[in-house]
Structure 1
Amino acid sequence: MSSGIRTWTAWGLCALTVVQLVGTAILAVLTRAIPDPTSSHSWLLNLVDNSLITAALAIVGVLLATRRPANPIGWLLTGVAFVWSTNDFTHHYARYALEHAPGSLPAGLATGWFASWNYALAFPLLPLLFLLFPDGRLPSPRWRPVGWAAAGAAVVLVVLSPLRLGPLEYFPTIRNPTGLVPPVVVIAIGLSFALLCCACAAALLVRLRQARGDERQQLKWVSAAGILLAAEGVVGGFFLPSRIHELLSPLTVVAFAAAIAVAVLKYRLYDIDVIIRRSVVYGSLTAAIAALYLMAAALGGVALSGRAAGPGIAAALAVALGLAPARAWLQRAADRLLYGERRDPLQAVTRLGDHVAVAPGPDLLAALLTGVQQAVNAAEPAWSGPMIAGSA
């Protein structure tokens, strides 16, 4: 396939995905008064979540497919986004045709039946995302049986999902007209497929342990985003309010898709170790400073006012205002510790001028680079005196 055909194919799939997302939004607005038995959340929240996730995968997919057409990762993401947008569109089409205005649109029952299982068409693609990232090849031939097993389970799910006995997925009052297979069989195969997907995900960890150089940087980006996605799924699903979980879940998927794009396209521009380390440290320091500030304000208010509510609030506000300069000083110290003087450009320029002013002529360039390194608090200078002198 020529590069032009591949580009048109990628953009065509992305365009179809966008068209289906727009159609889904229109139908969701028209059928917003109909309760959705498959979700306890509002129609608008469900629409935004699904659209945001699908759009992120489609954009990243077409970007990778056109920039790195030989790498299958972009094509896999584009395919997953297209399948999910098809599922959303057919679901809402059937809701309109079967419940909002029965008989107003053709093939309502057939579309509802198709919507009840077509999401399974993405299952064969998901294990490949883990196994083939980042270069489109398996980590080693030993992973070939795992890939074949996951693909086989996915194909079986695709074949059996339309034949599942019982009601249709989104329409509990309509029985599946092609139902032949007991649900327990489909569930058992689904669990097997999930375990095989986890085994495929372990390939990323194996690659990360063995990788060096650029490939290690690629895997660190995706691993960090994957950990964030998994942590939100576990913590958000069990410990956070459902509305907050529904808001955070699509954002973590978008972050995961963005990490894949950065890893494949721009990984040489960033040092993920420094970003993760400084982000964790800075977040911890900022949280500690805020906690100390609030604790001191609260304790000071209690000590000054006793137990009365009104005076207690007033005293807490007074203590908070009094501690504000101390909190600001601690925050500036934390910023300077992690990021150098980039938060204070005037001081950074002044310090840089001092370095250059006292440096002898031959060492002027080295002094300039050292001043910049100290101003931005870089971990290690990427130069040495002999190298600079030799290059000059």
Structure 2
Amino acid sequence: MTAHARIAWAVAGLTTLAGILDTVFTAAHRSLLSEATWADHGWPLAPLAAIGCALMGALIVTRHPRQPIGWLLCVAGLLAVTLAADAYSVWVLDGDGPGSPYWAHVSAWAAPLLGWPAFTALILVFLIAPDGRLPSSRWRWAAWVAVAGLCVHTLGTLTVRPGEFVVGGDLGNRAVSGPLLTLGVGLVAVGLIGSAVSIGWRLRNATDDARRQLLWIASSAAFLAFGVVVILVVPRLQGVEGTWLAGLPLRLALISVPLCVAVAVLRHRLLQIDLIVNRALVLALATGLVAVGYVLAVVVAGFEVGASSGFWPSLLATALVALAFQPLRRRVVMVADRLAFGAAAVPYEALADFSRRIGDSSDPSDLLPAVAEAAASAVGASRVVVRLQIDSGPDQVVVFPPAAESTTSGVELPVVDRGERLGSITVEMPAGHPLRRWQHRLLADLANQAVMAFHNARLTAELSGQVARLDRRTRELADSRRRLISAADAERSRVERAIAQQVVVHLAPLPDRLRRLSDSTQITPLAESLTSAIEALREITRGVFPAQLVRSGLPMALVSLLARTGSAERLVIHDSVAERRFDAQLEAAAYFCVAEVADPLGVHLEVRDDELRLRLTGQEVGSLSVDQMRDRVEAAAGSLSVVRDDGRAVIDVRLPVS
């Protein structure tokens, strides 16, 4: 545990101890179940709220040591120390508790010195929530006003003698402390109002997760404001000061503050707070309208006609209010949706935002994700599946959010253009949040706007499919060409072997036999002609497919080839090639490239950068079979280029050794 976490948990322990002491001091003075204990002192809800602030603050500091909200909640937890000091002072002064009355006054005097900083800390929490920063530099005034009010109030408390301070005593009539305390309370109230306005401003401009976080905090702030109003208004209506029922909402609101802030900062994704707020707003608005309508129907109308109150007039008023409220129900739901869900509840804003995104998107692959995200943000869906139907291939499916898993059955909206189904949009809503009628209309309009995006995405997919098919056919043609050349080389090799094994073997002994038969002038020319025919036949077999290329390799085969044409001195073989064997297809390609040049002026062979490089210098390009060379070279995954140099053709062949 870090030093920051140890300090925060120490404050939480001190707060818990103060809460226990507060319970002990209060129980020693009066019954814990008395109305005075609940109304005046706020036990047990006020100590629980302070302990909750300290615990939640320590939890936030443990997870995020530099988060100021955690430290402010720890300071707010010191309210428990204030309550314990108040309880001890009242016990000693009013209940004859142990201790000196002087120190009881000092204890009461020290209580607000801790209580007001705790309350100011809550104001600062509302100002910087949920990310620990002010909305902008323009809101610094609210923080400075609240801190200035705390300083002025603390100064006013310090001007009072500790021995004369009494819990709940009126200090406003003192010449010095009264104005300071009043001014301090006013400044802190202004800071509280500024914090409430800042939350509303943030909530208006927030989206997605930030909006959910702010909804938690704004809910606690609204509940706190409601508690303050109740505790001020109800006693005046009842004519009784300090009832426990009037203080109950405020005490519960204090407990909700640390819980809501901690959930917003730590685990804001766990619960659908926007749905809870929406239902609460609908209930509150409906209750308020019914109450106003009932008052108007019963009180005003009854006063005008002079009718006495009773069961039947009240029943009639209730029926009239129910009938009058029905036309307003849709308006109430729309207002609640707007407050809870923000821009997602306004169809035209959602559609306009979607149109802007589609217009700004230059990549066709972003169209379907944009449709899915727009549908999810428009209706607050937990998962959206967009399917694009492709006639010539598999359908394209996009899910938003990408990692979301299906938990409920969705509502499918087809995307149709002129009777042709292009795809569909399937929307899955959170549990307890079904699609409303206006949301159906919004999704239908969005599906209509998405027609062009679906067309573009389908065209892109079909073009990509065509490119893939052309690429596949190109590879198949290249493989087919390699197979044809390999088959031709195999056929040449077979013919060469057949001639050598079945023809030359019978013709080779005939010249010697003819010479032995007779030395006549008629036999000698015949033997010479037969010898020439045998040599020519051997040359033909070497041209069909050289057996030496298979036996000895490319360098020896080229030496033999050029030696027959008297061009052996023009062959340059680098050391990287000498006595090295290569792939059979590669050797055949290089050999026949040289063989296609009848009388090469220069042949250079080397291996460089994992490539077998062959440089041929010959006559003009028109006299060379460049196309046949290129077919062989490309079939071996190589490249061939031809340039002219001083009226000669220079052929550069590169074949990958690997």
- Equivalent in the alignment of 1:6: 4
SS in 2 for 1:267: coil
**Residues 370 and 125 (structure 1), Cα distance of their counterparts in 2 relative to 1, 3 Å cut:** closer
Which among 183, 188, 192 is matched to residue 188 of structure 1? 183
Equivalence map 1:138-177=2 (5 Å) = 138-164=134-160, 168-170=165-167, 172=169
Equivalence map 1:222-261=2 (5 Å) = 222-235=217-230, 237-239=232-234, 242-261=243-262
Structure in which a larger fraction of residues adopt helix: 1
**Residues 157 and 285 (structure 1), Cα distance of their counterparts in 2 relative to 1, 3 Å cut:** closer
- Equivalent in the alignment of 1:359: none
**Residues 33 and 99 (structure 1), Cα distance of their counterparts in 2 relative to 1, 3 Å cut:** farther
Give the number of aligned pairs. Answer: 304
**Residues 370 and 8 (structure 1), Cα distance of their counterparts in 2 relative to 1, 3 Å cut:** same
**Residues 14 and 208 (structure 1), Cα distance of their counterparts in 2 relative to 1, 3 Å cut:** same
Cα distance, 1:121 vs. partner? 3.1
**Residues 94 and 267 (structure 1), Cα distance of their counterparts in 2 relative to 1, 3 Å cut:** same
CA–CA separation in structure 2 for the residues paired with 1:136 and 1:277: 26
1:127 equivalent to 2:123? Answer yes
- Equivalent in the alignment of 1:94: 89
**Residues 143 and 277 (structure 1), Cα distance of their counterparts in 2 relative to 1, 3 Å cut:** closer
Larger Rg: 2
Cα deviation digits, residues 314-343 of structure 1 (max 9, x gap): xxxxxxxxxxxxxxxxxxxxxxxxxxxxxx
SS in 2 for 1:47: coil
SS in 1 for 2:165: coil
CA–CA separation in structure 2 for the residues paired with 1:171 and 1:233: 18
Does the CA-based 8 Å contact 1:127-1:151 persist in structure 2?
A: no
Equivalence map 1:1-392=2 (5 Å) = 4-32=2-30, 41-44=35-38, 46-82=42-78, 84-101=79-96, 104=99, 107-115=103-111, 117-164=113-160, 168-170=165-167, 172=169, 181-235=176-230, 237-239=232-234, 242-281=243-282, 369-370=409-410, 378-379=434-435
Does the CA-based 8 Å contact 2:148-2:184 persist in structure 1?
A: no
Give the aligned residue type for 1:27: F
Does the CA-based 8 Å contact 1:217-1:272 persist in structure 2?
A: yes
Cα deviation digits, residues 275-316 of structure 1 (max 9, x gap): 22244557889999xxxxxxxxxxxxxxxxxxxxxxx9xxxx
Gapped regions of structure 2 (runs ≥ 5): 290-310, 312-394, 398-404, 412-426, 441-446, 448-453, 455-658
* Greater Cα offset, 186-195 or 229-238: 229-238
CA–CA separation in structure 1 for the residues paired with 2:207 and 2:406: 30
Does the CA-based 8 Å contact 1:112-1:168 persist in structure 2?
A: yes
Cα deviation digits, residues 21-61 of structure 1 (max 9, x gap): 10111111111179xxxxx9422553223223222222322
Structure in which a larger fraction of residues adopt strand: 2
CA–CA separation in structure 2 for the residues paired with 1:9 and 1:210: 36
Give the aligned residue type for 1:170: V
Cα distance, 1:268 vs. partner? 2.0
**Residues 287 and 130 (structure 1), Cα distance of their counterparts in 2 relative to 1, 3 Å cut:** closer
**Residues 377 and 196 (structure 1), Cα distance of their counterparts in 2 relative to 1, 3 Å cut:** closer
Give the aligned residue type for 2:215: K
Does the CA-based 8 Å contact 2:149-2:183 persist in structure 1?
A: no
CA–CA separation in structure 1 for the residues paired with 2:151 and 2:407: 63
**Residues 169 and 201 (structure 1), Cα distance of their counterparts in 2 relative to 1, 3 Å cut:** farther
Does the CA-based 8 Å contact 1:124-1:155 persist in structure 2?
A: no
Cα distance, 1:103 vs. partner? 5.7
- Equivalent in the alignment of 2:421: none
Cα distance, 1:17 vs. partner? 0.4
CA–CA separation in structure 2 for the residues paired with 1:366 and 1:127: 41
CA–CA separation in structure 2 for the residues paired with 1:203 and 1:135: 13
CA–CA separation in structure 1 for the residues paired with 2:408 and 2:119: 55
Give the aligned residue type for 2:131: D
TM score, norm. by length of structure 1: 0.64
CA–CA separation in structure 1 for the residues paired with 2:121 and 2:222: 21
CA–CA separation in structure 2 for the residues paired with 1:283 and 1:147: 31
CA–CA separation in structure 2 for the residues paired with 1:22 and 1:12: 15
